[in-house]
Amino acid sequence: MAAMVQPTYKGKRYRLDKPELLAPAGNLEKLKFAVHYGADAVYIGGQKYGLRSNADNFSFEEMKEGVEFAKKYGAKVIVATNMYVHNEDIEGIEEYLRSLNETGVFAIIAADPAIIEIAQRIAPDLEVHLSTQQSTLNWQAVKFWKEEGLPRVVLGRETSLEEIAEIKNHVDIEIEAFVHGAMCSSFSGRCVLSNHFTDRDSNRGGCCQSCRWKYDLFEDGREDWVSEEQAALDQIVPAPSSFKPGVTQIPLFQPEDNAFTMGSKDLCMLGHIPDLIEVGIDSFKIEGRMKSIHYVATVVNVYRQAIDSYMADPENYVLKPEWIEELNKAANRPLNTGFFYDTPDHEDHIYEPEEKAAPYDFAGLVMDYDSVNGTALIQQRNHFKPGQEIEFFGPEGTFFKQVVGTITDEEGNELDAARHPLQLIRMKVDHPVKSFDMMRKRK
């Protein structure tokens, strides 16, 4: 590692080592797409001890297959074991970690000291990275975890670039930071709303994302009461429980008002790649194990291009408008820069119905290309038909638009639409395509 400098970060380069691009993979197919589209490493979840219990997650056999696939492309597989354990969770951790280690994964991400200690004891060759769930924000805390034998710390999302600079100045350790994806309205995931509302434990993998729900407000002590019959006529939504029989409390929000939500905007640091590299962040982490294949491929591909472009010529690096345009095709919510430059305020939260920004659907996957006839064999992933404009894009630079012409099934029968999931379709394409290129359509 290069010698450290004073923590001003602006104009001060800690190093120009190429950072790792770390992508989410909710299942084996997403892992393969993430690697093909440029990820240096992927993080996945197993069947236990992770915080995404609703994701597909990986069996040990799938982990082995994922590790072998990633190795062929020089990529690593990291497993999230980042839940906080209760007493009843302790039994079985050793067996799980031993089995996990046998799959050949590179590292685990852990928050609970119990999991950290057990992993270090029974699988010393398995790296342990500290989870963002530990809310690590300062250099002394990072130093503590380094002294505990951890080679990498995933910082809390609340850490600023200046704080990261100070951490890198004091501690020679790998720093991983989220650079893109959903933000938590609580403090680095330390939320219990889900527990109280739905009995699903946020920190044991069951978060129901209650911050994204729609809420109403009712003024305490307000005497504006109407009968249930009149409320129905006036289309007044009643309070969850009435304090007087046969009457309903008038909410502050009316049916024509926008519902209230606590959801935060999503993080996007694509426009600040030089700052992230120059401050010395070792791993750029993309959030989204629950996100679609189209999301993972698009976001990874864009960040891959930006990182590579900067590393090739730092002095002349330019943020390309087409990268931003691409990213917006997969964006789920409005975007901001999180805590990197300042503390988010009311403008960084979503109080009205979310504008679903992603205007495109994943329509098909290129399986093969016949260069003689200029036709592609495409696996259908979403309904499309002749006459629609579609786009092709891929990890090796494929990008073009065209209108769908005649389409046929594998036997050559002409079709009026590709409507069956995973059906194999043949169609003429305007330019050459490759396996793993994707076809998308505007919604």
pLDDT for the residue 428: 97
Which of 16-25, 46-55, 324-333, 421-430 ranks highest by mean pLDDT?
A: 421-430
Is the pLDDT at 321 greater than 80? The verdict is yes
d(CA 209, CA 425): 38
- Shared domain for 177 and 298, answered yes or no, is yes
Residue 220 resides in a domain: yes
- Kindly state whether residues 165 and 308 are assigned to the same domain: yes
Query: 299: domain CATH number?
Result: 3.20.20.70
Half-sphere exposure for 407 (CA within 13 Å, toward CB):
21
Q: Is the dihedral of CA 442, 439, 302, 400 positive or negative?
A: negative
- DSSP conformation letters of 163-220: HHHHHHHH--SEEEEEEEE---SSSTT---HHHHHHS--GGGTT---GGGS-B----T
Quick one: average pLDDT of 209-232? 64
Cα separations in angstroms, 310 against 13, 227, 306: 13, 66, 6
3-state secondary structure of 231: helix
Give the number of domains in the chain: 3
287, 424: one domain:
no
**Parallel/antiparallel/unpaired status of strands 266-268 and 174-181:** antiparallel
User: What average pLDDT is seen over the chain?
Assistant: 86
pLDDT greater than 90 at residue 346? no
Look-up of token digits 């991983």: 176
Residues 61 and 121 in one domain: yes
Quick check: is 122 in a domain?
yes
- Choosing from 300, 324, 348, the residue where a domain stops is 348
- pTM, whole model, 2 decimals? 0.85
Task: For residue 380, give the CATH number of its domain.
Answer: 2.40.30.10
Q: 159 and 86, same structural domain?
A: yes
The pair of structure tokens assigned to 73 is: 């492309």
pLDDT of residue 209: 75
Query: According to the model, what pLDDT value does residue 220 have?
Result: 58
Q: How confident is the model at residue 185 (pLDDT cuts 50, 70, 90)?
A: confident
Domain annotation covers residue 81: yes
| Position 311 in a domain | yes
Query: Do residues 387 and 245 both lie within one domain?
Result: no
Does residue 180 sit within a domain? yes
239-287 pLDDT, tens digit each: 555 455 555 555 666 666 666 677 788 899 999 999 999 999 999 999 9
Q: What is the pLDDT of residues 213-222, one digit of tens each?
A: 777 766 555 5
Hey, which of 144-153, 247-256, 260-269, 329-338 has the most confident mean pLDDT? 144-153
Residues 69 and 131 in one domain: yes
Report d(CA 42, CA 35) in Å as an integer: 8
Residues 299 and 392 in one domain: no
Helix axes 139-147, 161-170, angle to 10 degrees: 40
Domain end residue (candidates: 200, 234, 258): 258
Report CA torsion sign: 125, 131, 134, 140.
positive
Domain contains 366: yes
Same domain, 428 and 321: no
Domain of residue 416, residue span = 360-442
Q: What is the DSSP letter of 115?
A: H
Q: How far is CA 368 from the centre of its chain?
A: 29
The reported pLDDT for the residue numbered 2 is 35
Q: CA angle 111-115-117, nearest 5°? A: 110
419 pLDDT exceeds 70?
yes
Question: Do 152 and 269 fall into the same domain?
Answer: yes
- Among left, alpha and beta (phi > 0; psi -120 to 50; other), residue 66 is alpha
Mean pLDDT within 404-432? 96
pLDDT band at 3 (very low <50, low <70, confident <90, very high): very low
342 and 430 in a single domain? The answer is: no
Ranges 199-203, 206-210, 217-221, 325-329: which has the least confidence? 217-221
306 lies in some domain: yes
Q: Where does the pLDDT of residue 352 fall: very low under 50, low under 70, confident under 90, or very high at 90 and above? A: low
Q: Which of 141-145, 336-340, 375-379, 400-404 has the lowest mean pLDDT?
A: 336-340
The pLDDT confidence band at residue 207, using thresholds 50, 70 and 90, is confident
Residue 56's pLDDT is: 65
User: Are 27 and 128 contained in the same domain?
Assistant: yes
> Residue 197: inside a domain, yes or no?
no
Task: Between 187 and 103, name the one with better pLDDT.
Answer: 103
